[in-house]
A and B are shown apart, each in its own frame.
Chain A
């Protein structure tokens, strides 16, 4: 059995494709390679990692959706390039790029529209991460209410789906969100 080993493209190419400096890429790759010597991350590892970050509840569904959002080539594994490109958008991208990324996260079937079912799935996955013991206790169908509130805000023409433009416009109107977006910039 040969070890599947994937090597990323050269450092210069990655530097050109992302907004990271060479040194940052070096640090990222060292950590990545240490964790995944074969050069790819698969979904199991992802779920395992998220399970450790969110031990209270069940993070597997959210990890699944997140994995799909990073796996732009849809081949079931995340290579270093996908990883670093995704991170670049989230940390160093423009506002529009970030919102587009988030839209792609929510749009599970990649048809360009977020419908209620997809949103419910995502919201349920997020609530699953909270686990059972929360304050206040999760009574009733809280995720569904959350989804309703979301659609109330985002779906301007009330056609039951949210398109990319509606999403971006609605987000830009939300000041809280805009402020929060900037908080995550110095994560690296």
Chain B
């Protein structure tokens, strides 16, 4: 909780006197606060620079190094001060955090150094104030990207193959990353060479060559040396087909591979050849066949596998597609307007080339892009006037959107990034707040458990409660008082919904159904409280079979201790549970300065629980083992 809140806690506790006349039950005993009430000045020596502060200031954040008992490790008896061998410049900011409650990021410092200092002093970076948060995040991201690039570059070159990889995986890896083996490299260069050969052949076969003997007209080389070109084409296509089939075989996900852009390009590049093989030498069809040959030029796109630059260009075009679309749209509007105007202006003239509005499109485009071929010119005065307006506006229409697009693109890109960042941050913040709320709720419920069990065994509870801060104790006591006032207890959402369900089941349940609901409740695999609720519910149902007359709400404390009335089958399980809990309490609380939040374990053994009572104790012990892999989250402030 925030520092300020700690200051108000004594006030809130004092104000709890206002609940007393309403309370139906006696208030619980408050925790004993042995610390002296008087405040003292602490001396903190950081590499020679001496800082002084009130002890209370440091106590505001009990889950950091300086606020907890961890700082005692750094106490120097001789000089009566706390000595830290760390950077004094950074420490100034850290100490200001305690004083003002806001952590600022010094812009001239290295981000990693700052992070390390924060980690040392146990402060979570998330509490950096809004004023410095954006700067901090940007720097951190930059740093991470740079590191990621370096590692990626290293990895890409010499990451070892995972052991026991199949030949298929190795093949795929060779295709994706030619530098891994010499064979792959050879293949890479060979395909590159053949792509170049194929493209050059396509180009050269249209060049006019010397006509053979007996003919006058120049022939394109493709016709003169038809066989040669055909052989070359065949060879290239064979190589490409072989490559495509190998890639298809090696791909981890064939469907995904077939949908990818590169594979489509591959297919388009080789299809014309096969279609040409299949189709007969028919005059009618060969016209269409010729068009297909155009697609052979797509082979040049296969170079993009070999060139990083081409890929980046393609990605850039894809990402600013909307801006380009806008440019196109505005151009189209202008073209249509001017074409219409020119057409109607030139309509009357004899021999006018402006035969229709679509025909005028060509004029408009040529004029607006300032090409001016001169194949279509206006003859009327009106036509010339509008023609000049068209060319003047053409300059504007073409030139204006481009910088707008560039700046728009850059702005929208950054904006999107920021919006995504904000959304992610917002989500994280909300999740954190939720977790913190749950954390406080769970912390309180855990405290209550310890408290009730404490009457049994003072040693372990002493162990348990020792490491909780005074603030937490007092806060929990306050919540406990509220419970007693209203005679209702705090629970969490899970237990609440569970109990709603079990209450509707009814109190009069047979032995078997009580067990099955116990199993059913156990299948709700979440943190410690539902387990306690399961126990509670199970015991309540079990109890009810023995003494149904207990219709009214039971004090949970009394319920837990009624071991004698439980049928023998679950007695061992009950004996197991308090032990488990006590030990768990110990495990949990030795991570002294950390508020731990139990997270739902991914797979509890509960799921595979066979519906028989005897494995229950074993299962409960197992869940103890797995469920307490907490995610420890330090929460310094909300």
In angstroms, Cα B486 to Cα A69, docked, is 21
- In the complex, what residues of A have CB within 8 A of residue B9's CB? 53
- In the complex, what residues of B have CB within 8 A of residue A50's CB? 12
In angstroms, Cα B553 to Cα A8, docked, is 50
In angstroms, Cα B476 to Cα A55, docked, is 12
Contact among B3, B7, B19, B503 with A126 in the assembled complex (CB-CB below 8 Å): B19
B496→A184 contact, CB < 8 A: no
Number of A-B contacts (CB under 8 A): 157
A188→B21 contact, CB < 8 A: no
Q: Is the interface of A mostly helix, strand, loop or mixed?
A: helix
Q: Which of B1, B4, B441, B553 has the most CB of A within 10 A?
A: B4
- Nearest A-chain residue to B444, judged by Cβ: A56
A134→B489 contact, CB < 8 A: yes
| Total contacting residues, chain A, CB less than 8 A | 60
In angstroms, Cα B489 to Cα A102, docked, is 24
Q: Is the interface of B mostly helix, strand, loop or mixed?
A: helix
In angstroms, Cα B54 to Cα A144, docked, is 48
- Nearest B-chain residue to A65, judged by Cβ: B18
- Does B158 count as interface, using CB distance less than 8 angstroms? no
B5→A184 contact, CB < 8 A: no
Interface string of A107-118 (1 = CB under 8 A from B): 000000000000
- Does B592 count as interface, using CB distance less than 8 angstroms? no
- Does B8 count as interface, using CB distance less than 8 angstroms? yes
A183→B30 contact, CB < 8 A: yes
B17→A184 contact, CB < 8 A: yes
A180→B26 contact, CB < 8 A: yes
B491→A135 contact, CB < 8 A: yes
In angstroms, Cα B499 to Cα A55, docked, is 21
- Does A91 count as interface, using CB distance less than 8 angstroms? yes
- In the complex, what residues of A have CB within 8 A of residue B24's CB? 146, 149
Interface string of A163-188 (1 = CB under 8 A from B): 00001000100101101110110111
| Total contacting residues, chain B, CB less than 8 A | 61
* A146-B486 in contact given A53-B12, A181-B20 (Cβ < 8 Å): yes
B13→A184 contact, CB < 8 A: yes
B17→A101 contact, CB < 8 A: yes
Interface string of B14-42 (1 = CB under 8 A from A): 11111111111111011001000111000
B479→A133 contact, CB < 8 A: no
In angstroms, Cα B493 to Cα A138, docked, is 14
Contact among B14, B437, B441, B482 with A129 in the assembled complex (CB-CB below 8 Å): B482
- In the complex, what residues of A have CB within 8 A of residue B37's CB? 24, 27, 188
A126→B441 contact, CB < 8 A: no
Q: Which of A101, A135, A176, A188 has the most CB of B within 10 A?
A: A135
B25→A176 contact, CB < 8 A: yes
Q: List 22 A-B contacts (CB under 8 A).
A: A26-B39, A35-B7, A52-B1, A87-B11, A90-B14, A98-B17, A102-B17, A126-B22, A129-B482, A130-B486, A131-B490, A134-B488, A135-B490, A136-B489, A136-B553, A137-B500, A146-B24, A150-B21, A176-B26, A177-B21, A184-B27, A188-B10
